[in-house]
Amino acid sequence: MDLSEIKLKPYVSYDVSNVLAIKGKYGFRVTLVYEDGNKKVKQHAGYGKKAEANKARNNVIGQLHTGTYIVYPNVKVGEFLEYWLEYVMRPENTFTTNSYHTYRNCIRNHIVPQLGNLKLSTLNQGHLHKLYKKLAEEYISIPKLAKTIMNTSMRYALKKHLIAANPCKDVNLPKKVSNTSYHTIEVKEAETYTLDQVKKLLGASKDSKIHMQLVFALLMGLRRSEINGVKYSDVDFNHRKLKIQRQLGEDLHMDPELIPANMRMKQEIRPKTRSSVRELDISDYVFQEILEERKKYERNRSRRQSGKWVFQDLGYICCSSYGRPRSKSYIYVHYKELLEKAGLPYIPFHNLRHTYATLLMKNNINQKAVAVSMGHAKSIITVDIYTDMQAIIEDCEEEIQEFIKDVHPYDSADVQMLKEMFQEEVDLQEEKESIEEENGGIKKYDYSDVEEMDDIDEWYLGEGQ
């Protein structure tokens, strides 16, 4: 059944015929009337006795009255989930590309193989328990993602009268999964750089093609896709502020045929979450590097005004010598070569953000201020992720003070403002214990904005875990 051709609209009224003879047996017809005036007629037939048909008719009338009547009883779970993803979730402006691909992979690789051929109307709690148990034997995060997908999709199916009751209700994950924090990042010493290593890396990258990418990651804590989306127009040169208001990636809502192949992953899209839209202070060092990069930009624009390849004046700070934006994967080769040249151990580029947060927290910068600076939704996420940050780096306190002063220029007034704005007096440990107590002793944290969890947007966690 092609659900894309079905108008899944709730009916507004109905009519049930009397029992009548149909092909030598008994049955009745149900006429559903929709808001736009369209009608759908469903026939219930094959009853050997008139009394059986009347009993079934009364049962259907009860279902129609309570809103539990199933309009399309033959829809399979796999068909429905594919429809739900492509025609319900994908068109939403709040559904990101990463979320789409992660949901799709989970549906196709983990849910459909087990439940895909079942009729949606027959899906029950036993099927879901079996699914979650099997996934929990092999994965940590996949069972939770699968549960979120099933919870939210089944609520939609219930609303559209595809099922009579939500089979996900009161279905929990296996205990060993439920008690595991959702994709908590455990930062180890080998996965971040010390202050001396940060200085060494920045020095070595000075003449490289990814110097500004490293500056933005190490000294401002930007995500890779945010770095590629930063423009000179985002810089307030008078007040030395940087506005993060876009990232580069795949736009789900653009017609692929209208986008050049080499630009598919370089579309301007909204930041990861609402909290990712933020304004940051620019330190003296970073400000000077932006000015130097602007000089290169102007030189390239001046000398590439004609010829086969014309300069694209799009205003991106991190761009090619022809003004073209960079993709997320551009940095990898240059980054690895640079680490080898500098004699530094390899850590993922994303962990440069961890290094930035580590240095700030070692200097006792308010966790909530760090959270806002990095674009996290809530401080509890940053605290959960970077729990052991202060124990990781044992550098001299004076060196870090100097580094923070240069990199994250909060003066005394700024610090006081942050304390007032983010209520620093709140004891985060007491806050966590309060959350646990409210949930019956089970740790329930909102990990919707964890960096590695692009797959679930904060607005759509639903019942979640």
| Site of tokens 């459909």 | 112
By the 8 A CB rule, do 73 and 67 touch? no
Position 432 pLDDT exceeds 50: no
By the 8 A CB rule, do 14 and 33 touch? yes
What pLDDT score does 162 carry? 85
Percentage of the residues of the chain whose pLDDT score is greater than 90:
42
Position 380 pLDDT exceeds 50: no
* Chain segment 91-120, per-residue pLDDT in tens: 876 677 778 888 999 999 999 999 999 999
| C-alpha distances out from residue 123 to 33, 107, 108, Å | 27, 16, 17
Alpha carbon 9 to its chain's center: 28
What pLDDT score does 455 carry? 30
* Chain segment 77-92, per-residue pLDDT in tens: 999 999 999 888 888 7
What pLDDT score does 329 carry? 87
What is the mean predicted confidence (pLDDT) over 286-312?
89
Superfamily grouping for domain 77-178: Tyrosine recombinase, N-terminal domain (1.10.150.130)
What pLDDT score does 38 carry? 86
All structural domains of the chain with their residue ranges: 3-66, 77-178, 189-422
Position 32 pLDDT exceeds 70: yes
Confidence band (pLDDT; 50, 70, 90) for 392? very low
Contacts of 237 (CB under 8 A, 6+ apart): none
To the nearest whole number, what is the mean pLDDT of the chain? 77
| C-alpha distances out from residue 103 to 8, 91, 235, 267, Å | 21, 14, 35, 21
How does strand 235-236 pair with strand 39-47? unpaired
What is the mean predicted confidence (pLDDT) over 40-53?
92
* Chain segment 172-208, per-residue pLDDT in tens: 998 876 554 433 444 455 678 888 999 999 999 999 9
Position 456 pLDDT exceeds 50: no
Top-ranked range on mean pLDDT: pick from 83-97, 358-372, 412-426, 441-455: 83-97
What pLDDT score does 10 carry? 72
| Site of tokens 């209208």 | 258
What pLDDT score does 357 carry? 80
Q: What is the CATH number of domain 189-422?
A: 1.10.443.10
What is the mean predicted confidence (pLDDT) over 57-70?
86
| Site of tokens 């996900």 | 168
Position 138 pLDDT exceeds 70: yes
* Chain segment 337-357, per-residue pLDDT in tens: 999 999 999 999 988 988 888
Residue 319's CB is within 10 A of a number of other CB atoms, namely 21
pTM of the predicted model as reported, rounded to 2 decimal places? 0.59
What pLDDT score does 7 carry? 55
Residue 391's CB is within 10 A of a number of other CB atoms, namely 9
